């Protein structure tokens, strides 16, 4: 008699799957001998022949996906087929193999070295290609050794550390029910592929491999697992009761998806008709189409750090005008875009700024604080925003991060006006005005809310940093996970004070932290009187559906009870109860 | 030898797809072709190697320097320049 083991990871792609495990080990995958053996030859010839064969296989994968209309994924394999024939990679492998070395080992080492180089780049898209290079190396090795992968024989859930994209694509459609990874991140290829295939994926599941391998040893029967990609839950050996529970969740998810799609055509509102502005967080102009497709009513946080990173010289004013204009034009005059001024500090190496290393960069000279000694960076950015607004014929919104004092706000406003005067002096076109706000994320700003509110047009609460500063718990420290939940009543009481300060001056309050994209968090925030929620495009459907299921009196009662609570767990339970039975956190699960 | 400096205007820089098109085109010529990211100050990379081109980390707004050396260098530099200017197969306004 065995009992179910419940594990949790990070939700990657939503959906429910229940099925047998297909174990894949990227370092030592299950292999079988291929029908065609590679003849004996010099290492250099063997490597070149195997690379050519690998490139052919990858090209045929690419053309198969193109025929299925999956252009974006086919491009991954096109690039991989060129990597297989890359002169730098092959020369390195041939050099490593020498006259009598193991060609497969030489290819593996050369691919690992090339992957290292890409992984070291300060560019998320390119460094993610490191896994693709390793995968190409592994494929050439298999050809050299005359081996092929053992693929699942029945529809299965892949369980592994990480699943290379070419392996995912080789599994025939319908044979992959879900992907459960012990490693990986939400931006892993396997997760992107899972979303496009509409199957669930969970990453970073502690104890997954041990739990699955521990079960499969004694019997020949493959282990069964159940997974919920939305909550990040995996149950090994689920049994009849848990299977029924997951099937119910599946039906509920289908219903919620149908409802969410139906709700997209209307602006976000509560069941009794109170509007809440639902907008998106974006990191680059390329994120705009996804936000528009999710029916974002604007952008509540346009991060601009992408312009300033990984370069030797600061971005020019023209370069910035171009980037801001693209986003302002994409959203038009009906959907406001809030541009956040550069949030840069000693935690980032920026060669052209000459920042002194700091013991504690998150409590150091960052963001608006940099402008006291060196205003040029912000002045250039503000001039670019004035010009982009004129070019796009819209009123741009800006906000400064890390504002702690009234002096910070006065500096922001004087720089804004100075930037405008410079442009007007040169005869350049500027936007008619600039709606100016601040991020409230430092406790002192929360205490000074009434004074700050009289001087700006809006507040936007950054709940991630506010939580870190209120609870004095580093966001990146896994040992402090219990102190990182923004639903902690201490944080909620700070938010209530910020909203009261804003109300006294009649300005709106937005929230652009992760809490705004969490359906439970969104209800608490709406209850506390927040006017606008800004979250990743992928979270908007869930928040819209949560708001549509509650009334203002219910939200008021929730906020009242949450402010009286003493810990985050209690608040989560209360909000979960309002979300409906399908969303109530499981008593056995984590927070 | 011919050389040319040009700004990367692709939204995500020289990531897999534009890099692949650039490398395929460079490989058609007999001349040696290198690409160097001037903005980051990286070393010149073999333009016929997709790993080297992606490894140059050229992002939108960066300046890259192309050099072509060999029998067909005149034709190569003009074809590669036009390819860059036309967005390496991507819609630059999107």
**Cβ contact, residue pair A125, B41, below 8 Å:** no
**pLDDT of res. A188:** 64
**pLDDT of res. B80:** 92
**Cβ contact, residue pair B57, A79, below 8 Å:** no
Interface test mutation site (partner A, options B54, B57, B90, max chain A beta carbons within 10 A): B54
What are the residues whose beta carbons fall under 8 Å from the beta carbon of A436, sequence distance 6 or more?
Answer: A397, A398, A399, A412, A413, A416, A456, A457
Closest Cβ–Cβ partner in A87, A126, A312 for B41? A312
Give dist(CA A504, CA A438) in Å, integer. Answer: 16
Q: Which residue of B has its CA nearest to A287?
A: B11
CB A489 within 8 A of CB A566: yes
Centre a 10 Å sphere on the Cβ of residue A28 and count the other Cβ atoms it contains.
Answer: 7
Catalytic entry in B7, B9, B11, B15: B15
Rounded to 10 degrees, the C-alpha dihedral A272/A273/A274/A280 comes to: 120
What are the residues whose beta carbons fall under 8 Å from the beta carbon of A153, sequence distance 6 or more?
Answer: none
3-state secondary structure A477-516: CHHHHHHCCCCCHHHHHHHHHHHHHHHHHCCCEEECCHHH
User: What DSSP designation does A362 have?
Assistant: G
Measured between beta carbons, which residues in chain A are less than 8 angstroms from residue B17?
75, 78-79
Closest Cβ–Cβ partner in A75, A86, A285 for B50? A86
- A108 CA to chain B: closest CA distance, Å? 15
Measured between beta carbons, which residues in chain B are less than 8 angstroms from residue A284?
11
User: Is B15 noted as a catalytic residue in this protein?
Assistant: yes
Q: Cα–chain-centroid distance for residue A202?
A: 13
**pLDDT of res. A584:** 37
User: Parallel, antiparallel, or unpaired for β B2-7 and A299-302?
Assistant: unpaired
Q: Cα–chain-centroid distance for residue A185?
A: 9
Catalytic residue positions of A, numbered: 189, 512
**pLDDT of res. A119:** 82
Tokens read off for A548: 């549509």
What are the residues whose beta carbons fall under 8 Å from the beta carbon of A106, sequence distance 6 or more?
Answer: A43, A47, A93, A94, A96, A97
Measured between beta carbons, which residues in chain A are less than 8 angstroms from residue B41?
312
Interface test mutation site (partner A, options B16, B21, B53, B58, max chain A beta carbons within 10 A): B16
**pLDDT of res. A34:** 60
Centre a 10 Å sphere on the Cβ of residue A220 and count the other Cβ atoms it contains.
Answer: 5
Centre a 10 Å sphere on the Cβ of residue A353 and count the other Cβ atoms it contains.
Answer: 17
**pLDDT tens column, B39-91:** 988 889 999 999 999 888 888 888 999 999 999 999 999 999 988 888 887 77
**pLDDT of res. A407:** 98
Positive or negative CA dihedral for A540, A546, A551, A552? negative
Measured between beta carbons, which residues in chain B are less than 8 angstroms from residue A123?
13, 57, 59
CB A268 within 8 A of CB A544: yes
Start-end of CATH 1.10.274.10 domains in chain A: 31-148
- B40 CA to chain A: closest CA distance, Å? 5
Q: Where are the domains of chain B?
A: 2-85
Please give the average pLDDT of every successive group of 10 residues along chain A, which has 591 residues: 78 90 80 60 90 91 77 79 94 90 92 89 73 89 85 89 77 84 72 76 90 70 89 92 92 80 82 93 86 92 86 88 95 95 81 81 90 94 98 97 98 98 96 97 98 98 94 80 88 98 97 90 97 90 91 96 95 89 37 33
Q: CATH: 3.40.50.300, 3.40.440.10, 3.50.30.10, 3.40.190.90. Which one for A5-28+150-242?
A: 3.50.30.10
Query: Order of strands across the sheet with B2-7?
Result: B2-7, B63-69, B32-37, B45-46
Domain B2-85 has CATH 3.20.20.70: no
Start-end of CATH 3.20.20.60 domains in chain A: 303-440
- A281 CA to chain B: closest CA distance, Å? 18
- B50 CA to chain A: closest CA distance, Å? 6
**Cβ contact, residue pair A88, B52, below 8 Å:** yes
CB A504 within 8 A of CB A272: no
Collapsing DSSP to helix, strand or coil, A61 comes out as helix
**Cβ contact, residue pair A75, B20, below 8 Å:** yes
Beta bridge partners of A160: A181
Tokens read off for A418: 């100075």
- B49 CA to chain A: closest CA distance, Å? 5
User: What DSSP designation does A379 have?
Assistant: H
Collapsing DSSP to helix, strand or coil, A420 comes out as helix
Start-end of CATH 3.50.30.10 domains in chain A: 5-28+150-242
Instruction: Give the residue numbers in B contacting A (CB under 8 Å), as ranges.
Output: 11-13, 15-17, 19-20, 23-24, 39-41, 46, 48-52, 54-55, 57, 59, 61-62
Give dist(CA A467, CA A489) in Å, integer. Answer: 10
- A136 CA to chain B: closest CA distance, Å? 12
Closest Cβ–Cβ partner in B12, B17, B39 for A313? B39
Measured between beta carbons, which residues in chain A are less than 8 angstroms from residue B92?
none
Domain A303-440 has CATH 3.30.460.10: no
Measured between beta carbons, which residues in chain A are less than 8 angstroms from residue B46?
87-88
Nearest residue to A515 via CA among A559, A562, A466: A466
CB B26 within 8 A of CB B80: yes
**pLDDT of res. A502:** 97
Residue with tokens 């022949």: A49
CB B74 within 8 A of CB B13: no
**pLDDT of res. A481:** 72
DSSP A110-172: HHHHHHHHHHTSS-HHHHTTHHHHHHHHHHHHHHHTTEEEPPPSSSEEEEES---HHHHHHSP
**B17: pLDDT confidence band, cut at 50, 70 and 90?**
confident
Positive or negative CA dihedral for A137, A141, A144, A148? negative
**pLDDT of res. A585:** 36
CB A499 within 8 A of CB A463: no
**pLDDT of res. A423:** 97
Give the CATH superfamily of A31-148: PtsI, HPr-binding domain (1.10.274.10)
Nearest residue to B58 via CA among B72, B45, B75, B77: B45
A247: left (phi over 0), alpha (psi -120 to 50) or beta: alpha
CB pairs < 8 Å spanning A and B: 75
**Cβ contact, residue pair B49, A88, below 8 Å:** yes
Q: How many residues does chain A have?
A: 591
Closest Cβ–Cβ partner in A79, A122, A313 for B16? A79
Measured between beta carbons, which residues in chain B are less than 8 angstroms from residue A129?
15-16, 54
A213 burial class (0-12, 13-18, 19+ CB within 10 angstroms)? middle
Nearest residue to A160 via CA among A209, A199, A206, A214: A209
B61: left (phi over 0), alpha (psi -120 to 50) or beta: left
3-state secondary structure A239-307: HHHHHHHHHHHHHHHHHHHHHHHHHCCCCCECCCCCECEEEEEECCHHHHHHHHHCCCCCEEEECCHHH
Measured between beta carbons, which residues in chain A are less than 8 angstroms from residue B16?
75-76, 79, 129, 132
């Amino acid at each position: 008699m065995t009992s179910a083991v419940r594990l949790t990871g990070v939700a990657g792609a939503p959906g429910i799957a229940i099925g047998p495990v297909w174990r894949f080990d990227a370092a030592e995958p299950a292999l079988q001998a291929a029908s065609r053996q590679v003849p004996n030859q010099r290492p250099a010839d063997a490597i070149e022949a195997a690379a050519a064969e690998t490139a052919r296989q990858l090209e045929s994968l690419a053309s198969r996906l193109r025929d299925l209309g999956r252009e974006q994924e086919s491009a991954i394999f096109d690039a991989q087929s060129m990597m297989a024939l890359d002169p730098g990679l092959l020369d390195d492998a041939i050099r490593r193999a020498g006259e009598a070395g193991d060609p497969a080992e030489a290819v593996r080492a050369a691919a690992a070295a090339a992957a290292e180089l890409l992984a070291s780049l300060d560019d998320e898209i390119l460094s993610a290609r490191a896994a693709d290079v390793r995968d190409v190396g592994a494929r050439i090795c298999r050809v050299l050794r005359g081996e092929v992968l053992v693929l699942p024989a029945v529809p299965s859930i892949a369980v592994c550390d990480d699943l290379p994209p070419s392996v995912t694509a080789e599994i025939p459609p319908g044979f992959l029910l879900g992907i459960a990874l012990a490693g990986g991140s939400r931006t892993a290829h396997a997760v992107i592929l899972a979303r496009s295939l509409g199957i669930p994926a969970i990453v970073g599941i502690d104890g997954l491999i041990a739990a699955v391998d521990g079960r499969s040893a004694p019997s020949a029967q493959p282990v069964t697992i159940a997974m919920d990609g939305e909550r990040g839950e995996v149950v090994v050996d689920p049994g009849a009761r848990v299977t029924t529970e997951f099937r119910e969740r599946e039906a509920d998810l289908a219903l919620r998806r149908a409802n969410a799609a139906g709700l997209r055509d209307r602006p976000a509102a509560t069941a009794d008709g109170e509007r809440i502005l639902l907008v998106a967080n974006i990191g680059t102009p390329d994120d705009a189409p996804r936000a528009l497709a999710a029916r974002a009513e604007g952008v509540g946080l346009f991060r601009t750090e992408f312009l300033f990173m990984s370069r030797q010289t600061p971005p020019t004013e023209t370069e910035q005008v171009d980037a801001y204009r693209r986003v302002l034009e994409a959203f038009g005059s009906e959907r406001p875009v809030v541009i956040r001024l550069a949030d840069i500090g000693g935690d980032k190496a920026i060669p052209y700024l000459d920042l002194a290393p700091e013991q504690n960069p998150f409590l150091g000279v960052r963001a608006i604080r940099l402008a006291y000694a060196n205003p040029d960076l912000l002045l250039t950015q503000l001039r670019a925003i004035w010009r982009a607004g004129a070019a796009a014929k819209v009123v741009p919104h800006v906000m400064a991060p890390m504002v702690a004092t009234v002096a910070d706000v006065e500096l922001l406003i004087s720089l804004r006006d100075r930037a405008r005067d410079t442009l007007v002096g040169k005869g350049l076109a500027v936007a008619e005005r600039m709606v100016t706000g601040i991020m409230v994320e430092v406790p002192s700003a929360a205490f000074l809310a009434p004074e700050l509110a009289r001087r700006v047009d809006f507040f936007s609460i950054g709940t991630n940093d506010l939580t870190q500063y209120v609870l004095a718990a580093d966001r990146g420290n896994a040992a402090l996970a219990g102190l990182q939940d923004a639903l902690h009543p201490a944080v909620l009481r700070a938010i209530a004070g910020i909203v009261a300060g804003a109300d006294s001056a009649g300005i709106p309050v937005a929230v652009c932290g992760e809490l705004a994209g969490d359906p439970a968090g969104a209800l608490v925030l709406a209850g506390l009187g927040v006017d606008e929620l800004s979250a990743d495009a992928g979270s908007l459907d869930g928040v819209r559906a949560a708001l549509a299921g509650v009334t203002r009196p219910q939200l008021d009662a929730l906020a009242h009870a949450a402010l009286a609570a003493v810990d985050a767990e209690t608040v989560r339970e209360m909000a979960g109860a309002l979300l409906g039975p399908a969303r109530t956190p499981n008593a056995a699960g984590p927070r | 030898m011919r050389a040319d400096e040009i700004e990367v205007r692709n939204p995500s820089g020289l990531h897999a797809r534009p890099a692949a098109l650039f490398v395929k085109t460079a490989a058609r010529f007999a001349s040696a072709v290198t690409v160097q990211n001037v903005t980051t100050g990286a070393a010149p990379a073999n333009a016929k190697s997709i790993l080297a081109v992606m490894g140059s980390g050229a992002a939108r707004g960066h300046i890259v320097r192309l050099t072509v050396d060999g029998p067909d260098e005149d034709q190569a530099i003009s074809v590669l320049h036009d390819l860059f200017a036309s967005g390496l197969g991507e819609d630059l306004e999107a």
